[in-house]
A and B are shown apart, each in its own frame.
Chain A
Amino acid sequence: MSLIEPGSGPGSGPGSGAATPDAAPVLRLVGIRKSFEGTEVLRGIDLTVHRHEIVALIGASGSGKSTLLRTANLLEQIDDGQIFLGDDDISDPRAKADRIRSRIGVVFQHFNLFPHLSVLDNVTLASRAVHRASRVEAERRGLELLDSIGLADKAREFPDRLSGGQQQRAAIVRSIATDPELLLLDEITSALDPELVGEVLDLVRELGRGGTTILMATHEMAFARDVAHRVVFLDKGVVAEAGPPAQLFEHSENPRTREFLARFTA
């Protein structure tokens, strides 16, 4: 696979514990608050994702994981707090939201691909429209990416001709086609048939090995345990616990964490 960019370094492999403390923060959330119609969904979230780090966001449905990811990408306006991407305060209203979003890749649970565009056009759209790459150049890179996930022969097909797993993998390469600094994944396997989950997670694992910085909301506990450097447990809009997977999954002292995890092992 050629997903690994040169110069992205060896990174810290899965299971090597927390990311190195001196690694530069890519995303820094400070005291994030967000309400919907009077209900406070995010109640002061602090969270940092370092370069080459994979952070898994876990928590019950409705705990605010999707909202948190959307605020990080400026798809949702926060009520208080600050968001830093690299050194830039992107929560500043003077920041150029479109430019910032193009520095962050996002994959949602479903309906990611544009049904009226071919798979290749999906992958190349951001390069062409936002980064003003020529069609030839964008397609060369797009085909290379599709080839790396074994979908080169589907490049000219429309998304509805692909399986759910293939669609999500195409969505993932679309999100990294413009080399974003950070990848946000929001339960990207939740809408898939069980037998298709593996291929999608394998691709995420592959990206992580290549050094991509990832913040992912997930219900795949085994995967989070295996791949994430750090796990953040979100409970009712606050970070209830955060730490290396081994600590959270096996040695947690937090009753809420234990109660939540018990539901997955039952």
Chain B
Amino acid sequence: MSTTGIDARPPSSIELDRRAFRRQQTTRSTLIAIVSTVVFAVAAWIFVINTPGWSRVQQTFLNWDVAVAAFPRVIEGFWLNVRVLIYSVIGVGIVSLVLATVRTLRGPIWFPLRALAAGYTDLFRGIPLIIVLYLVGYGIPGLGVFPRMPAEFWGTIALVTVYSAYVSEVFRAGIEAVHPSQRLAARSLGLSYSQSMRRVILPQAVRKVTPALMNDFVALQKDVGLISVLGAVDAVRAAQIETAAYFNFTPYVVAGLLFFLLALPMIRFTDWYTARVRRREQMGSIV
């Protein structure tokens, strides 16, 4: 079927008039938005630079020379954060999927495993991350049974431990949101429990919870900075060292900016994806 016949028809003069008016409206609101933003920014700027302590704050937090001098070490530390992030994401993905799957197992023989998984998620969602970091980072090596490992190793373990508890709950919600008929349909095709899980339930579950997962990922991107409390020389710890060397806080600002730049694409992508999923759901698609 050809639609060119419809497309080729020129719009009526009334429609052209309406379009012109809408364009004009759009231009106007864009202009208003720009002007008000600029006015607000300038006002805030003038206020801040006229505060009594401004020059001192500028000197200690926004010192360009210090930023340049500290940058190499901070970025080197930041690279450690990125690596810890990558390993953590992999670890969290595996552990949380296993936990979520275990929690959805039915039948009395699975009770001990199920209870264990439930206890785990309760425990590690209840304890502050920083305490888990200390317990894992200083406690486990203290047992003396494991070979000596760098601080970032234990930091990664602690991050995986805590984040898996959260993320497994997200996965579990996703698994439970898949319509039960899907499981029945998969099983009646002769797929085994694990085959239906892997090929039918989990792919749908993951799609359903992707926005929530991405939010947890953004949170993890920032929390990798906490491994510095164990002495790992990451961006935060490097900034701390540089700060002490220059008696100036600018290195922290540099580290903060690096974390922000890393997180920004993911934040934007999450918003975009969430909006898209919502649109598709409103259009009635199941996935």
Contact = CB atoms under 8 A, between A and B. Distances in A.
A and B associate in one complex: yes
B84 to A, nearest CB: 32
Given A111-B181, A115-B287, A101 B190 contact: yes
A203 interface: no
Among B185, B190, B191, B287, the one with the most A-chain Cβ atoms within 10 Å of its Cβ is B190
B286 A160 contact: yes
A178 interface: yes
A108 B181 contact: yes
Nearest to B180: A111
Given A111-B181, A116-B203, A129-B199, A104 B191 contact: no
B189 A102 contact: yes
Contacts of A125: 189, 191, 199
B188 A114 contact: no
A98 B181 contact: no
Interface string A86-123: 00000000000011011111101011111110000000
A160 B207 CA distance: 15
Contacts of B287: 115-116, 158, 160
B200 interface: yes
A75 B187 contact: yes
Nearest to A100: B190
Contact of B179 (A105, A111, A126, A158): A111
B203 A130 contact: no
B30 interface: no
Nearest to B284: A160
B286 A98 contact: no
A130 B190 contact: yes
A213 interface: no
B285 A178 contact: no
A73 interface: yes
B285 A98 contact: no
B184 A99 contact: no
A250 to B, nearest CB: 35
Nearest to A101: B190
A114 B182 contact: yes
B285 A160 contact: yes
A162 to B, nearest CB: 12
Contacts of B184: 70, 75, 108
Nearest to B286: A115
Given A125-B199, A160-B285, A114 B190 contact: no
A110 B285 contact: no
A126 B286 contact: no
Nearest to B186: A114
A101 B199 contact: no
A126 B207 contact: no
Contacts of B185: 106, 108, 111-114
B195 interface: yes
A29 B188 CA distance: 18
A129 B182 contact: no
A116 B286 CA distance: 9
Interface string B141-169: 00000000000000000000000000000
A83 to B, nearest CB: 15
Interface of B: 179, 181-182, 184-192, 195, 199-200, 203-204, 207, 284-287
- 8 nearest CB pairs, A to B: A102-B190, A111-B181, A106-B188, A126-B189, A115-B286, A130-B190, A115-B287, A101-B190
Given A102-B190, A130-B191, 4 more contacts: A105-B188, A115-B287, A116-B207, A129-B195
